[in-house]
Structure 1
Amino acid sequence: MNPLCSKCNLVVYPTEKINCLDKYWHTKCFRCEVCNMSLNMKNYKGFEKRPYCNAHYPRANFTCVADTPENIRLKQQSKMQSQVLYKEDFEKNRGKSFTVVTDTPELQRLKKSQDQVSNIKYHEEFEKSKTSHLHEEVERSKTQHQQPAAFQPSAASQNYHYDPVPEPVRPAAAAPPPSAGQKRYRAVYDYAAADEDEVSFMDGDVIVDVQQIDEGWMYGRVERTGQQGMLPANYVEAI
């Protein structure tokens, strides 16, 4: 069924139909409401679902336009930019130097690559440290297990043919772990452990006995829970 013209209320046939402002118009009926100037889709301006020319367009504080896909896209983009600026100002107020941006596929790929590089570097440093401690323990054990010098009897006791029996050597105790540092840090973000050797904490928790592993990771103990493990260095700040 053909719709009616919003101007003359007559039937609008497809060959002369204009669909604009949520209404249907004859081509000849699509005119300015004030000066009756003939309009088209390029030079009209809509106000309260009525067409106007540029000269007689009502000047209001806000312009009501149709919600086209382009307008919806621009609105969503403006909202995203507003959120980004808000987060950026929020982080600046907290004294952070980095800028919060939206997650794009490219940024997610770079973040994943950085995490992999950081994990590889951490594991290399961790293995080197463990190998160094093991080597020190072995050397210490060898030193403590060396046999004492043979007993040389005096000239007076040589007539008795006394052959002293060496005392049994007790095995050396395991070397104590290296003493932890006394640095204290405060968490500025929540963090959930992603591996068995990591530790979880919440914003505001105090981290004690901190040891620096590399530029991106630390080792410490959460004072609130008593748990200890690795933690990212950019999630805490020194007290």
Structure 2
Amino acid sequence: MNPLCGRCNRVVYPTEKVNCLDKYWHKGCFSCEVCKMTLNMKNYKGFDKKPYCNAHYPKTNFTSVADTPENLRLQQQTKMQSNVYYKEDFEKNRGKCFTSLADTPEFQRVKKMQNTISNVKYHEDFEKAKMGGVAPQQPSGPSPAAFQPSAGSQNNYDTASESVGQATGGPTSGSGKRYRAVYDYAAADEDEVSFVDGDVIMDVHQIDEGWMYGRVERTGQQGMLPANYVEAI
């Protein structure tokens, strides 16, 4: 059975049949919906299953939204939500972009020194609150690491201490002086010496205003010690 034409609704015979846009057309009926210009398979444009020429092809128009108070409120709310999400992401990732430090022996030594200084400060504040007295302050001079002999050096620690004293202008005299510990001190590094309140420090050399070098009479150990933890005998 022959199909019907999509425009005139008459029977379309095979010799004049055009199959397009899911319909069958007579060759003469396959024309533009607006200007009625006869079309073919090369120059037609389909819209809503109807043929159009290039000039009369319907243009798609976007629906404009009026700037009503409700639309403005929604726009402002969307903008605020975007800012909130941005701040959340910023706070979430804050501090994650950092340069990792190599876990070297030097880095471990500095980390250990910082932890020890924090512990010393905590105990000073605790003793100050407990006794109502004035606890000793952590030496403000250079850290003991500044006076370590360089790797491969054959000089002993006394020579290094005297060299530091001459370079900084600090007193290097005082060899053979005796000091008494007035506070307990735990060595923060391997080049320091530990002692308790009342220990006698022998052969003391002054390095700078904050640090000395001496030998604990009770233990025989020698090393660096904070100057404000001891007093001269």
| TM more than 0.5 | no
Instruction: Return the TM-score normalized by structure 1.
Output: 0.31
State the structure with bigger RCO (CA 8 A, min sep 6), 1 or 2. Answer: 2
TM-score by length of 2: 0.32
